[in-house]
Structure 1
Amino acid sequence: MSHTAHIPSHRKPRRSASKLAVRAGVAGGVLSTLAMAGTASASPAEPVAETTLEMPVLNLDLAAEVASAVTTAAENTRSAAVEGELNAQEESARSGAAAEAKQAKEAAQKKADEEKKAKEEADRKAAAERASRTAARQTLQSTSGSASGSGSGSGSSTGSQPGAGTVTAPATGSAAAIVNFARAQVGKAYVMGGTGPSSYDCSGLVQAAYRQAGISLPRMSQAQSSSGTSVSLNALQPGDILYWGSRGSAYHVAVYVGGGKFVGAQNPSTGIVERSLSYDKPTGAVRVL
């Protein structure tokens, strides 16, 4: 054998340049990727906050409580509305009551003023009546004294007295009804505004007396003195209306009952009386019958 026999070589076979280039590129890419990853891991990363919303779970007890709360709130609202309405009604009622009380007070005050005025007027008329009668009596007494001192006893003074020429026969028919009624009231009280049956004022008595004969007279003395026709005081007949003052504005009236006498509701102190014409001479007379 030859001493130069072939011995297998232990060297790796040479790689081709193209394979080496490919491997070098791959290695570079891997190294670049690792470098970038290292850089990224070197800077601290911001932790990402995650929020998880948990929905409440309603059980039966909580639902019942919610329903009860809603019901209570509704009831409270209704109660508040009712209370507000009641308060408004109470306030309205108080306002109305105050207004009514004010009106009632004003009406009472007005009535009191009217009554006071009427009383003052009545007192004035009564005072005027008393003064007139006093003056008439004084005049009559003075005239009677003069006549009795200078008279010759022929009775000439009698003819000048009111009623001297009047009819003295008893009243009949309607006149009798008027006279009898008037005389039946003698002794009863005089009350301003009275129309019977227990008390009268002057015109109330005359009106009531004429009502017995079916005759309707005005209520006030002024109007009664304007009724019928005027008659002389020397020609009076039973049932004639006597008046004091001017006709149409008389302040007192009475009923002539014959015999030179009259019945009238004079004043609170005397009441209803029957008097002679000489007691208080009337101003005039009217005849309605």
Structure 2
Amino acid sequence: MSHTAHIRSHRKPRSRTASTIAMRAGVAGGILSTVAVAGASAAANAAEPVTQTLELPTLTADLSAQVAQSAEATQLAAANYQLQAERDAAAAAAAKEAAKDLAAAKKAEARKKAAEEARQAAAERAARDSQRTTLAAAADTGSGSVSTSTSTSASTATGSAAAVIDFVRAQVGDAYVSGGTGPNSWDCSGLVQAAFRQVGIDLPRVSQDQSTAGTQVSLDNLQPGDILYWGGAGSAYHVAVYVGGGMFVGAQNPSTGVVEKPLSYDPPSGAVRVL
């Protein structure tokens, strides 16, 4: 324990003097007055509206130039878009017009081709009718030699000619089919080619070439086994085999098939001999 623990303090108790108290009271009063004045000022400020003024930036010459350039660029872009749209529309219209012109040209070409084919068919029919008339007149007057010479030849056909004739006659009644080469359906050149193949003769496949495959012979001097053709030599559209006696065998058309008919039924234009 400290050696001073039980020693009384010699300090005298403080006594509040009147001046001290008065000073503290004055300070407190000043504070309260300040608070009151501040409150009144805040209330007055709260009652009055506050107005704030904003200053806009001044439009300078540089800013005006930038605005003008932006507007000009916008107008230029709009003009370019309009021009491109007009060009696209013009291109589409031109393409449509070209398509119409092409279609019209194709139609005109098709009509021209059809007319040419019709004229060619008419010319071929006229030639066949003329030949038929000539043969009929010759038969009536007895001046023609087709029936006379062929009837004699029919009875004397032998060898390869007989084999060819036997083959084509065996196919009478078969169907006609374009491109047919047998054994039960034929077209005209397919039948002729197959008949001559029986005797070791390899003929061309189509009638145009078969019409020039041998030696040209007169229709007044036909022999059994001769190849008859319709149309021009080298441009024939049909062929058949002369079997003698004024008769021929051929694959005529889809309606008749393979038939044996007299020459007057469909007079040929010419003939070639390969045997």
TM-score between the two structures when normalised by the length of structure 1: 0.48
TM-score when normalising by structure 2: 0.50
More helix by share: 2
Larger Rg: 1
